[in-house]
């Protein structure tokens, strides 16, 4: 069964957060929609996508679901970031409703304006990825030409978001708790697959 989630974000003002909620509830009432849940966050837009709980959105949204926001700027700190996010949502058959800009972004929507916007957003997102890829390649080529060794030394393990809970994870594993159960019931972030990779690469699972 499809669901409707609303995403709220503000930098500092709680009143603004409440205002977003009221706007979305008014829209839902006008269009006879039932909001299944609000994902609200009061935080600086300079934080990462994970800290803005956008990762939670992608974990909870599936094909056929709807995401409602009051305006496009709530989804990211830059135009490129917003475009890429919306494009990813649409590609996963998730409808995006933006109240301020009066947009219903859905690949199956028959409104000509919305269809045109979806096409443009997809094109801009692709251009953004190509430009980032090109800049990365050019930067790596420059460093290589300067004789700078690229990449980390072989065997280097990068930092992980799970590092702060490593001791807790190890203790739970020793008690026989499964990785899946730890991810779903003991941690409020990440995913089962990423936790499994963390445990395996760091050889945390007891024999």
Q: For residue range 32-71, list pLDDT tens digits in order.
A: 999 999 988 765 545 555 555 567 777 888 889 999 999 8
- DSSP structure class, residue 101: T
Measured CA to CA, the distance from residue 1 to residue 99 in angstroms comes to 24
Tokens of 113: 């304006």
To the nearest 10 degrees (0 to 180), the angle between helices 192-201 and 166-174 is 90
Q: Which pLDDT band holds residue 118 (cuts at 50, 70, 90)?
A: low
Triad 47, 79, 3: Cα angle to 5°: 75
Measured CA to CA, the distance from residue 122 to residue 86 in angstroms comes to 8
pLDDT given at position 197: 87
Mean pLDDT of 165-187: 89
Q: In what order do the strands lie in the sheet with 103-105?
A: 37-42, 4-10, 66-69, 95-98, 103-105
Kind of pairing, strands 66-69 and 37-42? unpaired
Q: Got the DSSP string for 19-31?
A: HHHHHHHHHHHHT
Higher pLDDT, 196 or 54: 196
pLDDT given at position 185: 84
Q: For residue range 48-59, list pLDDT tens digits in order.
A: 555 555 677 778
Terminal alpha carbon distance of the chain: 41
Nearest Cα to Cα of residue 39 among 23, 18, 49, 54: 54
pTM flag (> 0.75): no
Domains annotated on the chain, with CATH: 4-124 (3.40.50.1390), 152-207 (no CATH)
Q: Please, which residues have CB within 8 angstroms of residue 190's CB and are 6 or more apart in sequence?
A: 161, 162, 183
């Amino acid at each position: 069964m499809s669901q409707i989630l609303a995403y709220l974000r503000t930098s500092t003002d709680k009143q603004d957060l409440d205002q977003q909620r009221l706007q979305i509830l008014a829209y839902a009432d006008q269009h006879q929609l039932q909001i299944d849940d609000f994902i609200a966050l009061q935080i600086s837009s300079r934080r990462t996508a994970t800290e803005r709980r956008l990762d939670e959105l992608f974990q909870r949204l599936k094909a056929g679901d709807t995401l409602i926001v009051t305006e496009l700027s709530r989804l990211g700190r830059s135009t490129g970031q917003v475009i890429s996010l919306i494009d990813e949502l649409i590609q996963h058959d998730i409808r995006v409703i933006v109240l301020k800009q009066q947009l219903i972004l859905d690949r199956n929507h028959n409104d000509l304006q919305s269809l045109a916007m979806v096409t443009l957003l997809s094109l801009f997102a692709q251009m953004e990825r190509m430009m980032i890829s090109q800049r990365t390649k050019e930067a790596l080529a420059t460093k290589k030409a300067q004789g700078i060794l690229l990449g980390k030394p072989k065997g280097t393990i990068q930092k992980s978001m799970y590092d702060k809970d490593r001791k807790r994870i190890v203790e739970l594993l020793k008690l026989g708790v499964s990785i899946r159960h730890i991810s779903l019931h003991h941690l409020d972030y990440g995913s089962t697959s990423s936790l499994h990779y963390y445990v395996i690469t760091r050889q945390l699972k007891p024999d």
